Amino acid sequence: MLKGKNAIVTGASRGIGKVTAKTLAKNGAFVGINYNKNKKAAEETLKEIQNKGGEGVLLKGDVSSSDDVKNMIDLFLKQKRNIDILVLNAGIYKRNKFIQLNREEWDKTIDVNLTGCYNVCKTALPHINKGGSIIFISSQLAFRGTDHGADYAASKAGVLGLMRSLALELAPNIRVNAVAPGTIDTDIIASYTKEMRKKRAEEIPLKRLGTSQDVANAVLFLASNLSSYITGETININGGLYIH
């Protein structure tokens, strides 16, 4: 589906980003694997891709740093002359109550989750091919909020505002969309007990937690020509828990 395409996935050393990078590579894309601190995990992602016959390159960088982002985009462009697919997945979620949330923590979440998207889009945009696809990873909390992470919910709502605006500005040359995962079985819910996981699954109409592959499949669809008449949209991946 993506043969000959060049993709960058931010936050690709683990979780949704890792599985997304592997899925794009499996479908023929050359993938830039962005990571910030966990080089070993990123190397494992690249190795798994290469073992399946895929290709990619490691891109170290903190998306909240414009200098880091410039360096990683420059490195990618030394491998490939341009970009076709940009997946903006890097993010942090600290689960802080608002009353306990200090300004430094607020700024850090906004800097990574929202300004990070600005930094990567701003730097990569001149190199994205006509017909390219930008895909933001948002969250169901962007719609419904949360009582333990107002900073995260606000950042992910901002991501959707940025996505919709870019969809209008970049049409018809580049499509811009988002996916909004619900409860996905990643390290974000690693603290859930067996009972908590079971209770959460029972609350979901499809009676299971989501997987990183569920999200990656939607990203693959939005990255491919199968979604060539879709822009400015958000695909909700939540098993029917929140229906908009």
Return the C-alpha torsion angle 220, 232, 141, 14, nearest 10. Answer: 30
What confidence tier does 83 reach under pLDDT thresholds 50, 70, 90?
A: very high
Using CA atoms, how far apart are residues 60 and 31, in angstroms rounded to an integer? 13
Average pLDDT, the chain: 95
25: tokens are: 């590579």
Show the DSSP H helices in 92-233 as ranges.
Answer: 103-110, 116-124, 141-144, 150-170, 194-203, 212-223
Using CA atoms, how far apart are residues 121 and 134, in angstroms rounded to an integer? 8
Q: Domain residue spans in the chain?
A: 6-237
Q: What is the pTM of this model?
A: 0.95
Per-residue pLDDT of 38-77, as tens digits, reads: 999 999 999 999 999 999 999 999 999 999 999 999 999 9
169: tokens are: 């500005």
Strand 30-35, strand 55-60: pairing:
parallel
Using CA atoms, how far apart are residues 199 and 193, in angstroms rounded to an integer? 10
Per-residue pLDDT of 105-134, as tens digits, reads: 999 999 999 999 999 999 999 999 999 999
Active site residues: 152
Q: Which of 79, 81, 40 is CA-nearest to residue 60?
A: 40
Q: Which of 202, 212, 203 is CA-nearest to residue 237?
A: 212
Task: Answer for the pair 93, 112: CB distance below 8 angstroms, yes or no.
Answer: no
**pLDDT score at 188:** 72
What confidence tier does 194 reach under pLDDT thresholds 50, 70, 90?
A: confident
Fold for the domain defined by 6-237: Rossmann fold (3.40.50)
**pLDDT score at 99:** 94
Answer yes or no: is pLDDT of 102 > 80. yes
Answer yes or no: is pLDDT of 90 > 80. yes
Query: How many CA atoms lie within 13 Å of 199's alpha carbon, on the beta-carbon side?
Result: 5
Q: Which of 102, 76, 72 is CA-nearest to residue 90?
A: 72
Using CA atoms, how far apart are residues 20 and 102, in angstroms rounded to an integer? 33
